[in-house]
Amino acid sequence: MLEQILITIATAATPLLIAAIGELVVERSGVLNLGVEGMMVMGAVTGFAVALTTGSPWLGVFAAVIVGALFSLLFGFLTLTLVTNQVATGLALTLLGLGLSGMIGEAFVGQPGIKLSAIYIPGLTDIPFVGRLFFGQDPLFYVSILLTVGVAWFLFRTRAGLTLRSVGDNHGSAHALGINVIGIRYLAVMFGGACAGLAGAFLSLVYTTQWIENMSAGRGWIALALVVFASWRPLRVLAGAYLFGAVSIGQLHAQALGIGIPSQLLSALPYLATIVVLVLISRNRRLTMINTPASLGRPFVPDR
């Protein structure tokens, strides 16, 4: 019983982790992209449609990543090249993604999808209790862990990561040193979009294996909150994603046990937890200011 609960927590946490890690890189470069929800749901419908059409879930995953990156390029063009407001553009991107995915996915509602199979390692997966938890998950679970470790190494152990963080902390000084601020931000935004698309593919190819309109169900917003919750630190994002995953699964088990609490309130628990966490974090202004990229959300126009 406990093993199954832990597996479901990992499953619930994986899309949050993937999307949040991508957004963390974006915000570390000084860009605030509120379009994660829209890119995620577009990745979900694209992944489902391509997998169903071709019969290959891996082609669906690849297509979802590409669509997420392309959507992020639209955001990048508007905010980095045309210097539009990042908050308004991100919200518009989310609305566009929700509407466009509903139109594209209308033909796929109710159709059974193709599941991305879990990994099976003879001998290891059959180990009692820990076998399925550590050696029998779906491939995207391991991708999420590798992404987290890779981003942490990149940001704090490489010269390129230092450059990206310098752009996010002071884009004016970075530009004065000859760093291509706009180019770096474009790459960061594309990485974030690709991760959001990958998280969406997880929802439609692993989590539910079907297409449901607006199936991201606010996970993009939770991913955005996770970045703040983690103080822009990758390993803290990992911990936060599993904490929110546990809250999500906990409310499902509470409903199954028939606890005398309205089901609507239990379903709202993950979002209530998000609000509570953000309120608590905002009270520690010093901690927030230390880790927040100083140029976050500020437009940059290079000297002509």
pLDDT class of 253 with cuts at 50, 70, 90:
low
pLDDT score for 170: 93
Q: Can you give the residue ranges of every domain in the chain?
A: 2-115+132-291
Q: How many CB atoms lie within 10 A of CB 193?
A: 34
Residue 87 scores a pLDDT above 60? yes
Q: How far apart are CA 4 and CA 20, in angstroms?
A: 25
- Radius of gyration of the chain measured on its C-alpha atoms: 19
Rounded distance between C-alpha atoms, residue 55 and residue 200, angstroms: 18
Q: What is the per-residue pLDDT across 213-227, written as a single tens digit (0 to 9) for each?
A: 889 988 999 999 899
pLDDT tens readout for residues 102-154: 999 988 888 888 898 888 888 878 888 787 888 889 999 999 999 999 999 99
What CATH number matches the domain at 2-115+132-291, 1.10.1040.10, 1.10.3470.10, 3.40.50.2300, 3.90.245.10? 1.10.3470.10
Q: Are 155 and 234 in contact (CB under 8 A)?
A: yes
Is the pLDDT confidence value at 304 over 60? Answer: no
Residue 257 scores a pLDDT above 70: no
How far, CA to CA in Å, does 159 sit from each of 153, 154, 165?
Answer: 11, 8, 10
User: What is the signed CA dihedral for 191, 148, 164, 158, rounded to 10 degrees?
Assistant: -130
Taking the C-alpha atoms of residue 33 and residue 125, their distance in angstroms, rounded to an integer, is 39
User: Does residue 278 register a pLDDT over 80?
Assistant: no
Query: Does the predicted model carry a pTM greater than 0.85?
Result: yes
- Band of residue 29 on the pLDDT scale cut at 50, 70, 90: very high
